[in-house]
Structures are given as structure tokens and as C-alpha cells.
């Protein structure tokens, strides 16, 4: 190695250990942060709950602010849903509360504590950015509204039963014009009614009056504490939940009617009949649970009969029942003009009944109300005039029925005596007629018995004649049958004789033909052999010995024996034809 060469010694850099130290410290810090985050910042919101977060630090909100946004100090407007979340407990407080759950058949009425201020006297918020009660309600479901800024009241939905309709009154906005339906944004009665069914409405924004439709009755009876308006029976509901809602809706309507009656310094106008028990409407406060509703009539009323002077100056008092009907299409207009059903009865129907009854009744005599024809005529005239009068008020009258008539005793006694005398006379005439009819009946009974005996005799005679004719017919049929059998036997004998004759003749002819043909065959055989002698000789040879073989060979003329020695018989040649 030369002197010019220098020895290189590696020098360790001080930067690398510092980087490693920083990395280790960073890893330790990250591990500590993760342990702190997982062990101290982690919280879990279970299902059906929500977390309300309060920030302990951040930008100061505007004065009077209840709920703040993220980054501001105070209660967050936003709530955290169920699940796992991470927030530093040093900077945030977390309160876990149940979420708002609205069950089926209920509504949630939301009151906002935050937002723009309302106009003086208003409680319904025009939108969801203002304070006050939201017009729209929350339907069945689960909702997460911050309880620090919103309160939710769970109330019953409105279920209109069958046989009823709901008239809706808006309770917010500027007043509607007198006698006119409320338009959007106005306060008053709405033109659209609610048909039977379930409705989710805000009872602070809308009042629903459930009114009976269909056939109703108003009864005025003397000596009674009350007259009645009978509504048709309510149909039972198969669903317990809907039955409870119907019950609550109807009981709330009764509560409104009771309060209205109390405000008018009148007795409660409604009682409910349930079998043998009757109770006033005041016994039906708005229930928390369903109360059993009777299916019988509801009762409204006054406690006086229809009184008027008759044409002849006597005072007449009538108990009367008027059947009327409110049609659904006219219900909102009737409620707007007159009020609920008790007010309709009190303001419209009863005054018209009294007025028309006095007007028409004063043209009849007192005795006309006792006799059936006069009462029926008055009842018909009353129904017609009352129907025409109330038709202009959109109320349909079907019938006016007189149930009882009370007239002075000084006129009732003579009329009753005359009526009894007439009835007694009619009874005597009826008895005489009955005796006459009885005598006629006895005569007819004897005639019937005589006729019965005649019929019996005629029947026996007819039976004997039919039996004789039957026996004669049977004997004649038997003789004819025997004759027919004899004729058939004769014809059978004749047929058998003919068969025997034909059989004998056939056998003779057959034998003759066979013998004739046999003879002809022998003749032909003899001719073939040269004569009868040859044939005889042949038969002789055949009869000698069956084992002897006979051969006939034609060899010209010769003797039998010579021919036998030769083994053949001489046969003459057949003549040529």
C-alpha cells in the first residue's frame, strides 16, 4: 500500500437513531391513544334509544340558544342513533335516553322549544323552523327528536265509527268570514267532513266533532224529565284497538257536549241507556282506557209535550216522535249554521215541531185526536208540512208519529161514552152476526154430514160394481186364454204332423234316389266290365279270399279259368263311341 493511499473508516450518522426513537414514541403514542379511545371514549347506544350530546368546549353560541350545531358549545341539535360511537369524555357529556315511539292508533304532537318566535296569541307553528306546536303530527313509528328542544305528547288518533261523521274545525289562523267555511290559513269550520275511518290529526290545530248521521229520532213526552233523540245503534268493531279508539272519540265528543251545556247554564243534555241502567253524560269523562259503549239510543231533550188549542177551544197535549236524518253532504253546513246535534234539535227541530203542531192542530177538533181517522190525517199533514219546512235547512224528516193524546176530561168523558156506546152497539151487532153465522154453520154441518153419508153409499156401490166388473173381466180373460192355448196346441199338432209327413217323404225320396243311383252305378260298372256276367265274376272273386290280389288285365277273349291262371281276366275292348 502506498503512502498516498488513505485508510477509509465508516462513520455512523446521528440521524438514523433519532428517526427510530421518534417512530417508537409515535407508535407508543398511537397505542396509548387507541387504548384511551377504545377504553374511555367508546360508548354504545342500544336499539330504540338515542344519545344527547353536550359539548363542554367550542365556539360560544348566540344568546338564548338552546340547541347548537357541532363545533359550538352547548347541547347538540343532532342526536346520535343506536350503534357504537366515540367521543372524548373530557370534552363531551353523553346522555342516553329512549327514542320517541308512537304505537299504532296513536299520534305524536310535537312542541318545539327552539326556532323563530310566533305571533302573539298563536300556538301553532307555521313551519318546523318556528317555536310552538307543529301542525303535522307524528304517525306510528320511532322518532329521534332532541328532548331538550322538542317535547312529544302521545295522544289518541281519531277513529270515526260507522254511523258517524266528523266535522273539522281549524283552531288557528285568521277568522273566517261569518257564515262561510274556513279556507286554508283561516280559523273556522272546514267544508270537508271525515268519513268513518282512522285519522291522524293534531287536536290542538283541529277540533273534530263526531256527529250522528242517518236515521235519528226526537221524542217529546209529557210528564217526563227529558225528551229523547235516538240515534241508530253503533256497529260493533271486531278489533279491540279500534274499538278503544272509537270509544275514546265518542266519549270526547260527549265531554264537549257536556261542557257546552254547562257553559249555557243548562243541564247535561245527553244520557246513555245501557240495559236497565241510565247515567248522565257527566259520568263519562274522557277515559284513559276504553269504556264500554252501549249500542242503544242517546237521549237529548226538553221535558214538555206539544200543546195547542183545538178548533173548538179545548187544550190538547200530544206526545210525539219525529224521525229525521242528517245527510253527510249537508253535515258541515248544518254544524256551521246551527252547531252540534243537540243544538240542531234545540234550535231547529223542536221549535219547528212545536210551531207546525200548533198551526196544524188548531184546525182540528178535539175529538178528531181521539178517533183513529182524524189522528191519522193530522199525523200525515204534520209530517208533510214539517218535512217541507225542514228540507230548506238540509234536514230530512221521514215521519212524525203521535204516541199519546191528552185532552180535557170534560170532553173526553162524553166522547169516550159515545165511543163506548158505539163500540157496544158494534159488539151486539157482531154477536148477532156471530149467532146467525153459527146457525148457518150448523146447517152447513148437517148438510156436510148428509153429503158424507151419500158419498159413502155411492162409494160402496161403486166399489161393488167395480169388483163385479173386475171378476167378469178376469173370467173372460181366463176363457179367452184357455181358448188361445187350445188353438196354439192344435196348430202345434198340425205343425208336428206336417213335419212327420215331410220327414217320411224326405226319407223315401232319399232312399229311392240312393238306390237308384246305386243301381245306375252298378249298371255303369257292368257296362265298363263288358256285361253283367263280368261284374258277377268280379264279385265272386272278391268274395273268395280278401288276401288274394286280383289284377284285371285285358287280353282278349278267353275262358275264366284260363284267364285266372294267367292272373288276369280277359276283358273285351270297350266299344268306340
Give the CATH number, domain containing residue 329.
3.30.479.30
Reply yes or no on whether the pLDDT at 152 is more than 90.
yes
> How many domains are there within the chain?
5
d(CA 167, CA 178): 17
The grid cell for 545 is 279270399
Quick one: 501 and 542 in the same domain?
no
Quick one: 89 and 146 in the same domain?
no
In a domain, 248, yes or no: no
Q: Which of 390, 407, 424 is the last residue of a domain?
A: 407
The grid cell for 75 is 347541547
Quick one: pLDDT at residue 356? 85
Contact 364, 311 (CB under 8 A): yes
Quick one: pLDDT at residue 554? 53
Quick one: 549 and 525 in the same domain?
no
In a domain, 238, yes or no: no
In a domain, 343, yes or no: yes
Quick one: 67 and 168 in the same domain?
no
In a domain, 104, yes or no: yes
Task: Return all residues near 395 (Cβ < 8 A) that are at least 6 apart.
Answer: 324, 325, 326, 330, 334, 344, 348, 349
In a domain, 107, yes or no: yes
Q: Which residue has the higher pLDDT, 282 or 491?
A: 491
d(CA 427, CA 510): 116
Quick one: 524 and 547 in the same domain?
no
Percent of the chain past pLDDT 90, that is, above it, reads 12
What is the pLDDT averaged over residues 544-548?
Answer: 62
Q: Which of 211, 239, 265 is the last residue of a domain?
A: 211
CA atoms within 13 A on the CB side of 293: 28
Quick one: 419 and 525 in the same domain?
yes
The grid cell for 31 is 397505542
Quick one: 123 and 186 in the same domain?
yes
Contact 153, 108 (CB under 8 A): yes
Residue span of the structural domain in which 315 resides: 306-407
The full DSSP string for 451-463 is HHHHHHHHHHHHH
The grid cell for 104 is 299504532
Q: What Å distances lie between residue 215 and 183, 300, 349, 383, CA to CA?
A: 31, 15, 14, 15
What is the pLDDT averaged over residues 276-299?
Answer: 34
Contact 248, 331 (CB under 8 A): no
The grid cell for 467 is 169388483
Reply yes or no on whether the pLDDT at 545 is more than 70.
no
d(CA 92, CA 483): 136
pTM above 0.75, yes or no: no
Residue whose cell numbers read 322549544: 113
Instruction: Choose among 221, 105, 87, 215: nearest CA to 156.
Output: 105
Quick one: 433 and 502 in the same domain?
yes
The grid cell for 367 is 175529538
Q: Which residue has the higher pLDDT, 577 or 133?
A: 133
Quick one: 157 and 179 in the same domain?
yes
Q: Which of 98, 115, 148 is the last residue of a domain?
A: 98
**pLDDT, tens digit (0-9, with 9 covering 90-100), for 404-459:** 777 766 666 666 676 777 778 888 888 888 888 888 888 989 899 998 889 999 99
What is the pLDDT averaged over residues 362-373?
Answer: 75
Quick one: 387 and 454 in the same domain?
no
Quick one: 37 and 110 in the same domain?
no
- Through-space distance between the first and last CA atoms of the chain, rounded to whole angstroms: 171
Quick one: 138 and 156 in the same domain?
yes
In a domain, 517, yes or no: yes
Quick one: pLDDT at residue 247? 79
Contact 517, 540 (CB under 8 A): no
**pLDDT, tens digit (0-9, with 9 covering 90-100), for 199-248:** 999 988 999 998 888 788 888 776 544 444 444 444 444 466 677 777 77
Reply yes or no on whether the pLDDT at 77 is more than 50.
yes
CA angle 450-456-460, nearest 5°?
150
In a domain, 203, yes or no: yes
d(CA 357, CA 402): 11
Reply yes or no on whether the pLDDT at 78 is more than 60.
yes
Quick one: pLDDT at residue 283? 28
Instruction: Write the burial class of residue 313 (CB in 10 Å: 0-12 exposed, 13-18 middle, 19+ buried).
Output: exposed
In a domain, 338, yes or no: yes
Q: How confident is the model at residue 13 (pLDDT cuts 50, 70, 90)?
A: low
Amino acid at each position: 500500500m502506498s503512502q498516498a493511499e488513505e485508510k477509509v473508516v465508516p462513520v455512523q450518522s446521528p440521524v438514523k437513531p433519532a428517526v427510530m426513537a421518534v417512530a417508537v414514541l409515535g407508535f407508543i403514542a398511537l397505542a396509548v391513544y387507541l387504548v384511551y379511545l377504545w377504553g374511555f371514549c367508546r360508548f354504545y347506544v342500544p336499539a330504540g334509544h338515542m344519545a344527547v350530546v353536550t359539548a363542554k368546549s367550542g365556539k360560544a353560541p348566540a344568546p338564548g340558544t338552546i340547541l347548537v350545531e357541532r363545533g359550538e358549545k352547548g347541547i347538540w341539535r343532532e342526536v346520535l342513533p343506536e350503534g357504537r360511537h366515540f367521543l372524548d369524555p373530557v370534552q363531551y357529556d353523553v346522555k342516553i335516553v329512549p327514542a320517541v315511539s308512537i304505537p299504532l292508533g296513536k299520534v305524536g304532537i310535537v312542541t318545539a322549544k327552539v326556532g323563530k318566535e310566533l305571533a302573539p296569541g298563536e300556538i301553532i307553528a307555521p313551519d318546523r323552523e318556528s317555536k310552538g306546536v307543529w301542525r303535522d303530527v307524528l304517525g306510528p313509528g320511532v322518532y329521534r327528536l332532541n328532548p331538550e328542544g322538542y317535547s312529544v305528547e302521545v295522544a289518541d288518533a281519531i277513529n270515526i265509527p260507522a254511523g258517524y261523521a266528523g266535522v273539522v274545525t281549524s283552531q288557528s289562523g285568521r277568522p273566517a268570514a261569518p257564515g262561510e267555511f274556513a279556507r286554508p290559513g283561516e280559523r273556522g269550520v272546514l267544508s270537508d267532513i271525515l268519513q268513518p275511518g282512522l285519522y291522524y290529526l293534531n287536536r290542538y290545530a283541529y277540533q273534530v266533532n263526531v256527529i250522528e248521521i242517518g236515521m235519528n229520532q226526537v221524542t217529546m213526552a209529557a210528564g217526563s224529565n227529558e225528551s229523547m233523540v235516538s240515534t241508530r245503534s253503533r256497529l260493533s268493531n271486531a278489533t279491540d284497538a279500534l274499538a278503544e279508539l272509537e270509544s275514546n272519540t265518542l266519549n270526547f265528543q260527549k265531554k264537549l257536549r257536556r261542557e257546552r251545556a254547562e257553559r249555557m247554564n243548562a243541564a247535561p243534555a245527553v244520557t246513555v241507556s245501557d240495559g236497565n241502567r241510565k247515567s248522565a253524560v257527566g259520568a263519562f269523562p274522557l277515559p284513559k282506557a276504553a269504556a264500554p259503549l252501549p249500542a242503544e239510543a242517546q237521549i237529548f231533550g226538553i221535558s214538555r209535550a206539544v200543546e195547542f188549542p183545538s178548533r173548538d177551544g179545548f187544550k190538547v197535549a200530544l206526545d210525539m216522535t219525529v224521525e229525521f236524518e242528517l245527510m253527510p253532504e249537508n253535515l258541515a253546513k248544518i254544524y256551521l249554521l246551527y252547531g252540534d246535534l243537540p243544538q240542531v234539535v234545540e234550535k231547529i227541530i223542536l221549535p219547528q215541531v212545536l210551531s207546525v203542531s200548533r198551526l196544524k192542530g188548531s184546525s182540528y177538533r178535539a175529538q178528531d185526536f181521539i178517533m183513529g181517522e182524524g189522528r191519522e190525517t193530522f199525523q200525515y199533514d204534520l209530517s208533510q208540512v214539517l218535512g217541507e219546512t225542514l228540507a230548506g235547512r238540509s234536514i230530512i224528516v221521514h215521519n212524525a208519529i203521535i204516541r199519546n193524546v191528552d185532552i180535557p176530561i170534560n170532553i173526553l168523558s162524553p166522547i169516550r161514552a159515545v165511543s163506548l156506546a158505539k163500540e157496544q152497539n158494534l159488539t151486539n151487532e157482531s154477536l148477532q152476526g156471530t149467532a146467525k153465522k153459527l146457525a148457518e154453520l150448523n146447517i152447513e154441518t148437517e148438510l156436510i154430514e148428509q153429503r158424507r153419508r151419500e158419498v159413502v153409499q155411492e162409494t160402496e156401490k161403486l166399489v161393488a160394481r167395480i169388483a163385479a166388473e173386475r171378476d167378469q173381466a178376469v173370467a173372460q180373460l181366463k176363457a179367452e186364454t184357455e181358448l188361445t192355448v187350445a188353438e196354439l196346441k192344435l196348430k202345434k199338432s198340425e205343425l208336428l204332423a206336417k213335419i212327420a209327413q215331410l220327414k217320411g217323404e224326405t226319407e223315401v225320396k232319399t232312399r229311392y234316389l240312393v238306390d237308384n243311383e246305386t243301381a245306375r252305378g252298378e249298371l255303369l260298372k257292368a257296362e265298363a266290365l263288358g256285361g253283367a256276367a263280368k261284374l258277377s265274376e268280379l264279385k265272386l272273386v272278391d268274395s273268395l279270399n280278401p288276401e288274394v290280389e286280383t289284377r284285371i288285365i285285358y287280353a282278349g277273349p278267353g275262358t275264366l279259368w284260363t284267364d285266372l291262371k294267367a292272373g288276369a281276366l280277359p276283358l273285351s275292348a270297350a266299344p268306340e263311341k
